[in-house]
A = this chain, B = another copy of it.
């Protein structure tokens, strides 16, 4: 039996330094099914974290689609194949009619890398705006969207990027989004005054990495107006927020009452099979395709399209968006009850199957309890519940399970959380 220490040593030797794992005691997972994971010792975990296996770990319909297509044909888009056409038809049918064309990629990073170049191709400008607590991917260009992950190097690409303060419904009063719109406008003006001009705003329309602030429907409309007035593009990165996750809408941009120029997709799109996409209008696509001879060898291959199509089928036939709404509403009720019990739960938020609680040392000062949150997460892991944290201060429980997550699963999650919160001191003993 390989020990954790041995695996960690092999990782360090083979993958290099700074390849982080979750939890103080990393989990060695060997098997998954639905919302469950098993480690090498046979321990079972309720997965309250992973959004990539969107329709459940090892979903039989997706696995079957992959196996069938992988044993029939896997090739590239220089030949004709119905798979990519059927999928793009089905995908774009879920979006606003203007969003009618797509480039399929292998990752959300590749899709964002395309989106930024589309913005440059359409506007002839290079200035990009994002929030100061976001993450959109890992290419040299896209990694500059993150301030937290921002590389020191990166071929000087940082010059084109400006950041606005992330929305924070717990600390910043901005009920109708006008403060955020004003911040974006100020950065647009800075970019217009620079040699770069303003090309695009990139946001997750549910501000997921930012800690999914509570926002009224249509909150992003004022921002979209500001972006359009300046001739920029609105890029909605729906990698985390899309495919029905938020329960109320299939795409979070719909809740925001805006129509993006570009929608970026990734992670859950094919349940873990490496698939992403950039969806846009036919004009923006033509501008890009006429500027760049883009080809992606694996992008849109028949196996990837079969896997992605099976995810759409599964979502629709099992009505998983409505399910996410029902379980999510219940989860918020249970979180609210915990907030009434525990002074350190400063705020509870979420929609559908993405929800969480913000931990504070003191409700009046709203001082983030990041270290406490860490201990809670590690204690939950030791009790067989897997989730994580996120947000501006990394003090918000991040609960974002596979979509088949049930009421019963929610009960186990919150019963365990209640137990852990009772037994975890707010101040560390160490």
Contact = CB atoms under 8 A, between A and B. Distances in A.
B152 A139 contact: no
Contacts of A85: 7, 10-11, 14-15
A157 to B, nearest CB: 6
Interface of A: 2, 4, 7-8, 10-11, 13-22, 26-32, 37, 50, 52-53, 57-58, 60, 62-63, 66-67, 70-82, 84-85, 88-89, 92, 100-103, 106-110, 113, 116-117, 120-121, 124, 126, 138-141, 143, 148-149, 151-157, 160, 266-267, 271-274, 282, 285-286, 288-298, 301, 303-304
Nearest to A104: B15
How many copies of this chain are found per oligomer?
Answer: 2
A108 B106 CA distance: 11
B298 A106 contact: yes
Q: Which 9 A-B pairs have the closest CB atoms?
A: A16-B285, A274-B298, A106-B106, A28-B80, A74-B272, A274-B274, A18-B289, A140-B141, A67-B67
Nearest to A77: B19
Contacts of A73: 29-32, 37, 57-58
Contacts of A53: 74-75
Q: Could you say which of A70, A151, A154, A304 has the most chain B C-beta atoms within 10 Å of its C-beta?
A: A70
Contact of A63 (B67, B82, B103): B67
Contact of A297 (B7, B107, B126): B107
A129 to B, nearest CB: 15
Q: Could you say which of A30, A88, A108 has the most chain B C-beta atoms within 10 Å of its C-beta?
A: A30
Nearest to A295: B138
Contacts of A60: 71
Nearest to A73: B32
B88 A113 contact: no
Contacts of A79: 21-22, 26-29
A237 to B, nearest CB: 13
A58 B80 contact: no
Contacts of A141: 139-141, 155
B139 A113 contact: yes
A89 B14 contact: yes
Contact of A274 (B103, B120, B148, B304): B304
Nearest to A8: B80
